[in-house]
Amino acid sequence: MAEAVYRSWDPMRNLRLQVRLQRITSSHFLHYQPAAQLRKDLIDLATFRPQPTASGHRPEEDEEEEIVIGWQKKLFSQFEVDLYQNEAAVKSPLDYQYRQEILKLENLGGKKNRRILTYTDSDRHTNLEEDGGQHPQATLFHQEQPCH
């Protein structure tokens, strides 16, 4: 991954990043071949595309995710959503705040992000990392791998 430095006189609260995740595979390119290239003896690849499930979910929706993230904006992982929906997991004022935010999100139709999540300065493990001077090996999320 390349690093870059961008200097600005704007306050950090004005920072916005647009993040886009897209799965790219060799079959991905085949789906987008122009229809004009088809001959009569060939089958259109659209025939083989996954069909929506009974709930209306389209599998290709999992192939791409795009979101704009502001400075210190919290995007919850599914693990955090499940955790903070359980009132017994609330141990601190921050936990209570996260629980309220998640309940509000659920009332508005659920979180929009599926794979993109963020850590903020107030999250538990970010303080451990800064205070100890090293990256913790254990992560908060069961499917997450530490990256260094």
Q: Cβ(45)–Cβ(30) under 8 Å?
A: yes
pTM for the full predicted model: 0.59
Residues, the chain, total? 148
Nearest Cα to Cα of residue 119 among 57, 77, 63: 77
> What are the average pLDDT values for consecutive 10-residue runs of the chain, which has 148 residues?
84 92 72 56 60 57 85 92 92 94 91 88 65 46 48
Q: Residue 6 has what pLDDT? A: 82
- Structural domain range at position 103: 72-139
Q: Residue 5 has what pLDDT? A: 86
Together in a domain, 34 and 56:
yes
Confirm whether 28 is domain-assigned: yes
Q: Residue 123 has what pLDDT? A: 85
Confirm whether 5 is domain-assigned: no
Nearest Cα to Cα of residue 63 among 28, 96, 39: 28
Confirm whether 79 is domain-assigned: yes
Q: Cβ(99)–Cβ(91) under 8 Å?
A: no
Q: What is the H or E stretch that residue 21 is in? A: strand 16-22
Together in a domain, 54 and 76:
no
